[in-house]
Chains A and B, each alone.
Chain A
Amino acid sequence: MRKYLFYPGCSLERNASAYYDSVMALREPLGIEFEEIEDWNCCGATEYTSLHRLGSFALQGRNLALAAKQVAGGNNVLAAPCSACYLNLSKAEHYLRGDEHLAAQVNEALATGGLSYRPGTIDVRHMLDILLNDIGLEEIRAKVVKPLTGLRVAAYYGCFVIRPDYEHRFSSPEYPTVLEDLLEVLGAEVVEYPAKAHCCSGHMPSISAPSAYELIRRLIAMAVEKKAHTIVTLCPMCQLNLDAYQADMNRFFGTKYRMPILYFTQLIGLAFGKAPEELGFGKELVDARPALKKIGVKMVHPAEETGGTAPAAPKPRKKEEGLPMPKMPAKHQNEEVS
Chain B
Amino acid sequence: MKETPSQSGDTGSSFLEEVIQATPGDPRLEMCIQCGTCAGSCPSGADMDHTPRAIFAMIRADMREEVFQSNTPWFCISCYYCTVRCPQEVHITDLMYTLKSMALRKGYARNTAWADFSKTFNEYVFNYGKAFELGLATRFTMRHASLRDIPGLAQMGMGMMARQRMSLIPQKINGLESLQKVLTRAEEIEEESR
Residues of A at under 8 Å CB distance from B?
10-11, 13-17, 39-42, 44-55, 57-59, 61-62, 95, 98-99, 102, 105-106, 108-115, 159-160, 163-165, 173-174, 198-199, 201-204, 206-209, 211, 215, 244-245, 247-248, 251, 282-285, 302-303
Contacts and interface: CB of A to CB of B under 8 A. Distances in A.
A188 B155 CA distance: 33
Interface residues on B, range: 35 or more
Contacts of A11: 131
A109 B188 CA distance: 9
B6 interface: no
A51 B77 contact: no
Nearest to A245: B156
A285 B158 CA distance: 10
A174 B117 contact: no
Given A42-B129, A112-B181, 16 more contacts: A40-B173, A45-B131, A50-B76, A53-B23, A53-B97, A58-B186, A62-B178, A109-B183, A115-B178, A199-B77, A199-B81, A202-B77, A206-B140, A215-B44, A285-B156, A303-B162
Given A58-B183, A113-B178, A247 B133 contact: no
Interface of B: 22-25, 43-44, 47, 73-81, 83-84, 93, 96-98, 100-101, 104, 113-114, 117-119, 121-122, 124-125, 129-131, 133, 136, 140-141, 145, 149, 152-153, 155-156, 159-160, 162-167, 171, 173-175, 178-179, 181-187, 189-190, 193
A196 to B, nearest CB: 13
A174 B113 CA distance: 31
B122 A112 contact: no
Given A53-B24, A95-B24, A108-B185, A48 B43 contact: no
A29 B190 CA distance: 47
Nearest to B83: A164
A303 B131 contact: no
Contacts of A211: 44, 47, 75
Contact of B173 (A39, A51, A198, A282): A39
Nearest to A65: B182
A225 to B, nearest CB: 19
A279 to B, nearest CB: 14
A208 B118 contact: no
B162 A302 contact: yes
A203 B178 contact: no
Interface of B is mostly: helix
A209 B137 CA distance: 13
Contact of A51 (B44, B104, B131): B104
A201 B173 contact: no
Q: Tell me which of B44, B78, B164 has the highest count of chain A C-beta atoms within 10 A of its own C-beta.
A: B78
Nearest to B77: A202
Nearest to B112: A207
